[in-house]
Structure 1
């Protein structure tokens, strides 16, 4: 039966990790792999993504030679692009003196998030060659903006990797900070050329996802088991409103790091709202359910395009590990859950789910009262279990207290008996002392003699 299916969102920490067990976060967009493993898998010598795509979408095999010729032409253009701003392979390695050593001290003094300071250092004479590389790369990418978006993604990721090699003398954390500034510099300018590119179906996917979220506007927090603050806490309105506002702001940003910052801000607001609703720290299931609720209420514009933009042009370390990687992975899981949402996930029969989807019925006050009653029953059962545990603890404490009182009473009796004996001996000694003094003192006659 439909009621036998586990309700709600249940994603373990292990399911969020890369399928190759490399220790980084995976992503549904990469079929469960992290960005590094996914790119290594796509660039494997035996991989033929074009052939598999052709066979899966029904393209005749007779066009294989045409596809091979077209791919050869694309590869030639990519090689030309790389040659324009990287030079010949023999000269691709950066100069060890004027690039790696001279500017490093200036970059070490940069504070996290100090983008104007980074621009100032990049425009200084010691960093002139680095600035020239950035400018050449940007000009070349704009000139070849009609390349497929995946090729553009490969070029940007190759640029990140080669540019980061210029800072090998810095600690890894500082290299990440510098590369975040580089990403913001590059992608702020390339955003209009590569975001929602004509060579992909991001725009169509955005419309599909937006219609899907709009069709689920009837889903209530009780159906998702999202905890809300009680009335006695004094919280009025929707406690998730700051999170809804933050996730909508993603589309207004241009750099992938800024978009990830909005996602992290949204998730932090969710944890704050859950903290007001629960006396205990929020678990992963509560967080993911609340994130789904926030997405359904916000219906963020161009959500699919923004996520793909971050995946294609964001720094790998931002998505593979750390807080931003964890939050973005949960965001991808929440979107995947919304796309596959069905009745059993909301504790509804298939007929009820279809009725809501076709707007033939709406969550009534009785249905909400039923959901509240079920939640209250669950809470009462939990309170009953806690009361039983408390009673058992009180019985154990009472037993321990009784034993302690018996032990203390016995010790007091023993002490009193000992004290009586000691007191008796002291009195006996005090009575014997005057007699001894009388016997030991000489008489007056003896003294005269």
Structure 2
């Protein structure tokens, strides 16, 4: 069964640390060593090869010639570094007083973390003239000698970091790291176009090879990598790993190594957030590495190898050797190394199945027992969820029916009451109308009687007048 197999891609904590047991994180690009141990190892190997080449040129070197050669080489290195730091074969006299230097350091200490704009303003101030001139001279020299091998450019940049760190020697470790991050951003934002994907290395070819490799593995499913996807009961819109995919793609658009590392950290945090949605168990380091491999396969970031090598060569050592960013970058390096060496057993596939998928002979089968069980469980859960929704819908419909019936009854009661009140009002209006009609008839009768009495009185008066007027006539 799939569940009986070892879940995830397991990398122990010891495998992430430096082989030299110095306590810092190692890196597959440095053959498992940290940046400090790797540089020391490569320098020693280079010195041994140079000594061996000199001894094979002919007669063995005498002690005096060896000392002369050593002093010449030492003087050449000193002059080169002086030109890089000071812009001239010999350093100028110290022009700034101890008081101005102290004031400048106090101003730098007052900077907020990540305030790169404030750092640039302080760098242009008169107390920081010496630091500004060193940075300007170094940038000018690096641009003039941009044809140097990329490894030599990396050594020069790392040595410059070390010398600039001495300028802030009175600061705490956290403050020194903060100042060096500003210095790194200042330098590498300007040197990016000269040193990124340099012509002296095969980064471009490695990018194409890695891109083709990731494209050929687009058939790999999350189940093959044992990536614990979020629970089906969790309402999630789209792919939960989409923010992580976006963050790792954005890395190519950044210039400073610390900004590229910030994209890696952001991507890793999104991976943990996506894994935390799973209801099986909390996300652990093995789940994180599996999820990160899945994100890289889905994203296929542009120029991934070049970006990683750029961070390794020109990034601050403490950012890669320790801390959260160092842990995330080490896991990303392990994910890329895993993808480059990915084979059938790593995905619990036979060599024939793996070869068939790589040659596109057939797609990954969905007939595995674990997948059938997973699909069956998801379907069962979906049916239960739909059944619960149906029950809630029925309860809601019944409640609406009861409310509708009560509303109809209330409306009917109000209509009946209004009808009764209308009938009573109609009766009252009829009675009042009849009363008004009777009163009108009575008034008309009284008025008629009054008119009759007036007529009689007029008649009597006329008769009386008739009796009187004839007597007057005779007279």
Q: TM-score, normalization: structure 1?
A: 0.74
Structure 1 residue 5: deviation in Å?
A: 9.9
Match of 2:352 in 1: 351
Match of 1:314 in 2: 315
Structure 1 residue 97: deviation in Å?
A: 2.1
Match of 1:326 in 2: 327
> How many angstroms apart in 2 are the aligned matches of 1:26 and 1:126?
39
> How many angstroms apart in 1 are the aligned matches of 2:20 and 2:377?
39
Q: 1:8 to 1:271 in 2, by over 3 A?
A: closer
The alignment partner of 2:140 has SS state of helix
The alignment partner of 2:356 has SS state of helix
> How many angstroms apart in 1 are the aligned matches of 2:167 and 2:101?
5
> How many angstroms apart in 2 are the aligned matches of 1:117 and 1:188?
17
Q: 1:378 to 1:32 in 2, by over 3 A?
A: farther
> How many angstroms apart in 2 are the aligned matches of 1:99 and 1:335?
49
Match of 2:27 in 1: 27
Contact kept in structure 1, 2:251 and 2:264, CA below 8 Å: yes
The number of aligned residues is 358
Match of 1:127 in 2: 128
Match of 1:44 in 2: 44
Q: Which structure 2 segments of 5+ residues have no match?
A: 58-71, 379-475
For the aligned residues, what is the CA RMSD?
3.1
Greater length-normalized contact order (CA 8 Å, ≥ 6 residues apart): 1
Contact kept in structure 1, 2:123 and 2:129, CA below 8 Å: yes
> How many angstroms apart in 2 are the aligned matches of 1:359 and 1:100?
66
Match of 1:17 in 2: 17
The alignment partner of 1:102 has SS state of helix
Structure 1 residue 96: deviation in Å?
A: 7.7
Q: 1:5 to 1:39 in 2, by over 3 A?
A: farther
> How many angstroms apart in 2 are the aligned matches of 1:160 and 1:99?
23
* Higher Cα radius of gyration: 2
Structure 1 residue 204: deviation in Å?
A: 0.3
Structure 1 residue 338: deviation in Å?
A: 0.3
Q: 1:350 to 1:93 in 2, by over 3 A?
A: farther
Match of 1:86 in 2: 85
Structure 1 residue 372: deviation in Å?
A: 1.9
Contact kept in structure 2, 1:223 and 1:346, CA below 8 Å: yes
Q: Which structure 1 segments of 5+ residues have no match?
A: 55-60, 63-72, 380-449
Contact kept in structure 2, 1:26 and 1:329, CA below 8 Å: yes
Q: 1:179 to 1:362 in 2, by over 3 A?
A: same
Task: Note the 1:187-226 alignment, pairs <5 A.
Answer: 187-226=188-227
Q: 1:347 to 1:185 in 2, by over 3 A?
A: same
Structure 1 residue 235: deviation in Å?
A: 1.3
Could you list the per-position Cα deviations for residues 367-390 of structure 1 after superposition, in whole angstroms to 9, with x for gaps in the alignment?
A: 5xx4424668999xxxxxxxxxxx
Structure 1 residue 9: deviation in Å?
A: 1.5
Q: TM-score, normalization: structure 2?
A: 0.70
